[in-house]
Structure 1
Amino acid sequence: MSADTPRSASGVPGLDEVLHGGLIAGRLYLIDGEPGAGKTTLALQYLMEGVRQGERALYVTLGETAGELRANAASHGWTLDDIEIVELVVDESELQGDAELTMYHAAEVELSETTRRVLAAVERCKPQRMVLDSLSELRLLAQSSLRYRRQILALKQFFIGRNCTVLCLDDRSGEGIDTQVHSIAHGVIELDRTVPDYGPALRQLRVTKLRGSNFISGQQDLTIRRGGLRVFPRLTANEHGADFPREVVPSGVKMLDTLLGGGIERGTSTLLLGPAGSGKSTIAAQYAVAAARRGAHAAIFAFEESRSLLLDRLAKLGMPVDEGVGPGRLMVRQLDPAEVLPSQFVNLVRESVERDGAAVIVIDSLNGYMNAMPEARALTIQLHELLTYLNNHGVATFLVATQSGMMGAGTRNPVDASYLADAVVLFRMYEHAGTVRKAISVIKKRSGTHEDTIRQLWFDGQGVHLGPPLAHLRGVLTGVPVELEPPPQPASGADASAGPAG
């Protein structure tokens, strides 16, 4: 299909990206989903977007009343004054008297009569956008699949050439998926709602069919809040990128940059791995604060530590933060793993990069990110896409991963992301001279050389400090190192260049 094919914007944030520009105008679409999945909300947003563009909008309801629709809209802060609403529901007076108690009056039960009234409403209003709610009522009136299919085909033929885009809603009240309309409609959008063992209901959207156009396939996360439905498209990293100079992102700590062979490069990801309390989050924050001090924008997404506690801790370490969005500022975003959806988090990261221009991104931690993902395999795939996207935009990304266990070989990784990262920095806690100390080392760096040493790490009111290589200790990574005996010193007056005898 050519690029100038007219599109009909959905009015739902994120959905047009999934549809590669919106629905193709002048066609009939099926919006399929169980009750409570968000069909009516999506339909109202679509019609209101048409009104904003100066188009005539019609909502034909066979189930809900106009009052119920307006109440639903009011809960989102909307008004439907500019949308024509046509009710084809049973009148209360028809349930009184000697008439047989049925859902519809005898005149209404006939499918052809209901269809005629729908078409009459379209002829009168001449809408450019229309919603028919819902097909389940027509299916009940038809009483046979053959008659039902013929009526849907007749509706489709009726709208051809009328420059009207139609959304037909279906609540899946029949047995299984209604393949009749799936085959007839130009496009099908399915809405799903699942309730996990803990946490809020999870909502997803998928486009299963869109004739004449490509689209982003698969499940897309969505939320319904006051203000409407919002879709978070699945990230496809190869479709995004920008040119950027290959340059080093310094930490602001000389010995740390030395350990990393000069520093971290733009367009790379660094995994900070170690037990709780070993200094991972502070080192990651050091890079973010240093970037902001150089005039760049940085963002920290914190899944565990509260925003206020993080800012207070950084201030006590001599790293006061000018919080906010834009050059020279650091944005701290606290996230709840039980509330944030995986694609919603990816969308927040994209906004920081594309809208705010973030040069450094910190994800603290992967443990919280993993808790937001229903499947470990999905986490690895999505993390790969996210890191590729950030690398393509020249962002220096820092991932914090907390290992279970405190010292030595007993530590375990929550998820193996080491092969995804371009650099891996290992943190350990060890016992020495009656105190618990911290150690830092680099075990992987794809973009250049790095030190193979293990250095002591500590923090105080002046910030981050690294000591000289712990050459006098063996077994630091086990948590209980052994002091090495110093090498023998040459005798006074002897040739210091001579090796030991024998």
Structure 2
Amino acid sequence: MSTIQKLPTGVPGLDVISYGGIPKGRATLIAGRSGAGKSILSLQIACNLARSGVKTIIASIEESAEDLLSTADTLDFGLADLVKEGKIVLADLTRPMEGPTHVSGDFDVEGLIHLVTDLVKKSGATGVVLDSVTALFSPKPTDAHLRSQFFRLVAAFRQLGLTSVLTAEAPGDYGQLTTLGVEDFVCDTVLILRNLVDGERRRRSIEVHKYRRSPHYKGEYPCTMTMQGLTVFPLDARQSAELSEDERFPSGVKGLDEMTHGGWLRDSIVLVRGPSGSGKTTLAGMYARAGATRGERVIYYGFEETKPILLRNFAKVGLSLKELEASGNLRVECRYPEATSPEDLLVALRTGLANFKPSLIVVDSISSIEHSTSERGFRQFMVGLSSLIREHSRSALLTQTIGTFTRDDAAAPYLSTIPDAILVMDYARKPEGLERTMTVLKMRGSQHDTAEHRMNIVPGGLQVERLGKSTPA
């Protein structure tokens, strides 16, 4: 297989699933239904290419130059500055809105080709974005004539040495790629954007449908629109090269550290599972507080309570977090998953990792996210979450609400494969009250006690002690 030169798009995650970006000097087709994000993605790619030194022509058939500038300003693409600096050339090809349009004779792309050729000569551009092919070929000519003209257009861009990005409307999320019937045989790369109704919510995804002479990630990957454009979550499980071999850190609970033979392994994901009221949030608070007290940076994401209530409840059990927030070591962010999407939550996590640079992350609880989305959306969220944590070599504690462990272990099976360690918190109803227990169900790469331990919630947090003889695993 011959190697192909690629240009990074600068779109977060897209260069990962495309193995480096779009093909240089070739055509890339972005297909999708109305509202899928084709225009924004093509504009985002154009601005990023221009910033990287690829002068680009934007030939807009659907939106005026003023509308493009307004959209780019909203998304902070910096289009106006790029135009002023001569890095982007705007070609407004929108049709006049006044009066009827009369079509006579066969459609011909030669006029557009001459226009682009002239702009290339004047500006020295090596990239072109055409938004959209659907609007260009409207009204639609016969299939044979359309295919001939589309092939002529793409061939002309290639002869000019242009890296081209073209958008086209799709009749549906699956099946025929475009409403024009122009399939992917002309373009080297085809990206499909989808904006599906999944349960009661919409879920965006992107797929590299085709990439000639290049490997690429297969299947759909979640994405979302942010105030900086499209963000893709490649669900990449690659681990950072800086993985710690055997470094441990204390959990904040003395008895638990004895169960794990010295504390949690650094760069590990711990899943704490148990019924409501078993002490999961208290444990999460102790984990965060211990890390911040040691001088580490910690982000606590709470999805079940408002921040004032969460901080008040921690203070009531002797786990005040306010002074640690004031020190700058701890950041507490609370929101309801129903008010956002799993993809937006991943964006918030990625932003927090990039800006705050925490070493410890708490997510309390993933069950709230599970209940606010579909099974597929939740699975993608969990894989995306673990990918981000491992990509940045961070340690994390996630809580999950299930029925009492002895009666109901209905968690999705794949959840057991994501964490490095699973801690089960449970209780049994006794005449004298609740008997709480804690068990280390699994801990990869480390010996640990598998015996059930008695646990109590006391002032200052959790108190753990052995019920019987410990059993190393």
TM-score (norm 1): 0.77
Q: Contact between 2:298 and 2:361, CA under 8 Å: does it hold in 1?
A: yes
**Aligned residue in 2 for 1:486:** none
Amino acid at match of 1:370: E
SS at 2:12 equivalent:
coil
**Residue-by-residue CA offset, 1:218-266 (whole Å, 9 max, x unaligned):** 2222222444x22222222136443313022212332232243433222
Amino acid at match of 1:270: V
Cα separation, 2, equivalents of 1:381 and 1:51:
32
Amino acid at match of 1:185: C
| Match runs of 1:9-20 below 5 Å | 9-20=8-19
SS at 1:154 equivalent:
helix
Q: Contact between 2:271 and 2:422, CA under 8 Å: does it hold in 1?
A: yes
Amino acid at match of 2:141: Q
Amino acid at match of 1:128: T
The CA RMSD over aligned residues, in Å, is 3.6
Matched, 1:206 2:200: no
Cα separation, 2, equivalents of 1:357 and 1:41:
29
**Aligned residue in 2 for 1:474:** none
Deviation at 1:184, TM superposition (A): 0.5
Deviation at 1:84, TM superposition (A): 3.3
Cα separation, 2, equivalents of 1:350 and 1:387:
11
SS at 2:68 equivalent:
helix
Matched, 1:183 2:181: no
**Aligned residue in 2 for 1:249:** 249
Deviation at 1:448, TM superposition (A): 0.7
Which of 412, 415, 424 in structure 2 is aligned with 1:415? 412
Cα separation, 2, equivalents of 1:164 and 1:396:
45
Q: Contact between 2:246 and 2:266, CA under 8 Å: does it hold in 1?
A: yes
Cα separation, 2, equivalents of 1:84 and 1:385:
37
Deviation at 1:331, TM superposition (A): 3.0
Q: Contact between 1:221 and 1:341, CA under 8 Å: does it hold in 2?
A: no
Cα separation, 2, equivalents of 1:63 and 1:433:
72
Identify if the C-alpha distance between structure 1 residues 277 and 50 changes in structure 2 by more than 3 Å, giving closer, same or farther.
same
Cα separation, 2, equivalents of 1:54 and 1:35:
31
Identify if the C-alpha distance between structure 1 residues 408 and 91 changes in structure 2 by more than 3 Å, giving closer, same or farther.
closer
**Aligned residue in 2 for 1:58:** 57
Cα separation, 1, equivalents of 2:226 and 2:350:
21
| Match runs of 1:278-427 below 5 Å | 278-321=278-321, 329-338=329-338, 340-342=340-342, 345-346=345-346, 349=349, 356-371=356-371, 373-375=373-375, 379=378, 383=382, 387=386, 390=389, 395-404=394-403, 409-416=406-413, 417-418=415-416, 420-427=418-425
Cα separation, 2, equivalents of 1:281 and 1:46:
42
Cα separation, 2, equivalents of 1:130 and 1:308:
51
SS at 2:151 equivalent:
helix
**Aligned residue in 2 for 1:478:** none
Identify if the C-alpha distance between structure 1 residues 150 and 324 changes in structure 2 by more than 3 Å, giving closer, same or farther.
farther
SS at 1:291 equivalent:
helix
Cα separation, 2, equivalents of 1:444 and 1:285:
21
SS at 2:436 equivalent:
strand
Identify if the C-alpha distance between structure 1 residues 65 and 421 changes in structure 2 by more than 3 Å, giving closer, same or farther.
closer
Deviates more, 1:126-135 or 1:275-284: 126-135
**Aligned residue in 2 for 1:91:** 96
Q: Contact between 1:367 and 1:414, CA under 8 Å: does it hold in 2?
A: no
**Residue-by-residue CA offset, 1:171-202 (whole Å, 9 max, x unaligned):** 12599324634110011111111234434x32
**Residue-by-residue CA offset, 1:94-140 (whole Å, 9 max, x unaligned):** x3xxxxx5x3454xx6412xx12211211221132222222224444
**Residue-by-residue CA offset, 1:275-323 (whole Å, 9 max, x unaligned):** 1111111112212221222222333332223333323333333333355
Deviation at 1:19, TM superposition (A): 2.6
SS at 2:129 equivalent:
strand
Cα separation, 2, equivalents of 1:341 and 1:313:
27
Task: Give unpaired runs (5+ residues) of structure 2.
Answer: none
Cα separation, 2, equivalents of 1:124 and 1:217:
39
Q: Contact between 2:233 and 2:384, CA under 8 Å: does it hold in 1?
A: no
Identify if the C-alpha distance between structure 1 residues 194 and 104 changes in structure 2 by more than 3 Å, giving closer, same or farther.
farther
Deviation at 1:66, TM superposition (A): 3.6
TM-score (norm 2): 0.81
Amino acid at match of 1:184: V
Identify if the C-alpha distance between structure 1 residues 424 and 48 changes in structure 2 by more than 3 Å, giving closer, same or farther.
closer
Which of 99, 122, 147 in structure 1 is aligned with 2:116? 122
**Residue-by-residue CA offset, 1:339-380 (whole Å, 9 max, x unaligned):** 55445545655565676554333232231232355226x755
Identify if the C-alpha distance between structure 1 residues 394 and 233 changes in structure 2 by more than 3 Å, giving closer, same or farther.
closer
Cα separation, 1, equivalents of 2:255 and 2:135:
72
Q: Contact between 2:293 and 2:324, CA under 8 Å: does it hold in 1?
A: no
Q: Contact between 2:238 and 2:390, CA under 8 Å: does it hold in 1?
A: no
Cα separation, 2, equivalents of 1:24 and 1:79:
23
Identify if the C-alpha distance between structure 1 residues 282 and 413 changes in structure 2 by more than 3 Å, giving closer, same or farther.
farther
Cα separation, 2, equivalents of 1:271 and 1:18:
28
Cα separation, 1, equivalents of 2:61 and 2:386:
48
Cα separation, 2, equivalents of 1:373 and 1:86:
42
Which of 114, 128, 131 in structure 1 is aligned with 2:129? 131
Structure with higher Rg: it is 1
Deviation at 1:44, TM superposition (A): 1.8
